[in-house]
Structure 1
């Protein structure tokens, strides 16, 4: 048990210091900044102009497709980074598995591009 604590004690100390520092900054920002609320501060802000429509209005499906593409390629990068770090130690199966993964993502991206999901009218 002593060995485990000695290895992870630095992480625990880091978490405690970061919690204390963030709490201190939060408390100081509350006391230092002025707390006067005016009409401009409490008004609704939406992309630089006043809201003009119902909040339940439907969005174009392209917004969702671009968001899904962003998530897909963001996850792709999160898989590629650790894979690239251990690439020299991987057998051929590990290499070709990632190649198939990238190929599937590339086919999906080409399909989205072909269907016009990335074009704005």
Structure 2
């Protein structure tokens, strides 16, 4: 029991020494206020939080996230080729790609893929 107590005390001393050394040896400068301030999406944190932003840019990011998730869902289709019936695999892949292309056509038709308004 006394051994566990000594071991705990030694561990606490070593960890406190390491934390103290890291504080002393760190190269962090508190002089640069700009580097210490948070940076979020290009907005200045000291300004008004409800400034308008481009809705078109927001929609493009949402479209990117949707297609990114859909591409991540395509990856498991390749190993499934050897485990399933070819006809069922082909119908599933064709339906998935058809839905993706239909969504892409709709977004293209609505001019949501244009970077400029």
Name the TM-score, length of structure 1 as normaliser.
0.60
Render the CA deviation track for 1:76-101: whole Å, top value 9, x for unaligned: 22111111112132222232122111
Q: Hey, which of these two has a bigger chunk of helix by percent?
A: 1
Q: Find the aligned partners of 1:48 and 1:65 in 2 and give their Cα distance.
A: 17
From 67, 77, 90, the counterpart of 1:73 = 67
From 67, 76, 87, the counterpart of 1:82 = 76
List gaps (5 residues or longer) in structure 1. 1-26
Q: In structure 2, do the counterparts of structure 1 residues 53 and 118 end up closer, same or farther at CA, with 3 Å as the change threshold? A: farther
SS of the aligned residue for 2:75 comes to helix
Structural RMSD (CA): 3.0
Once the two structures are TM-superposed, the CA of residue 56 in structure 1 deviates from its matched residue by 1.3
In the alignment, which residue of structure 1 is the partner of 2:48? 54
List gaps (5 residues or longer) in structure 2. 1-17
Matched, 1:63 2:57: yes
From 27, 30, 36, the counterpart of 1:37 = 30
Once the two structures are TM-superposed, the CA of residue 48 in structure 1 deviates from its matched residue by 7.0
Q: In structure 2, do the counterparts of structure 1 residues 72 and 52 end up closer, same or farther at CA, with 3 Å as the change threshold? A: same
- Equivalenced residue count is 94
In the alignment, which residue of structure 1 is the partner of 2:106? 111
Name the TM-score, length of structure 2 as normaliser.
0.61
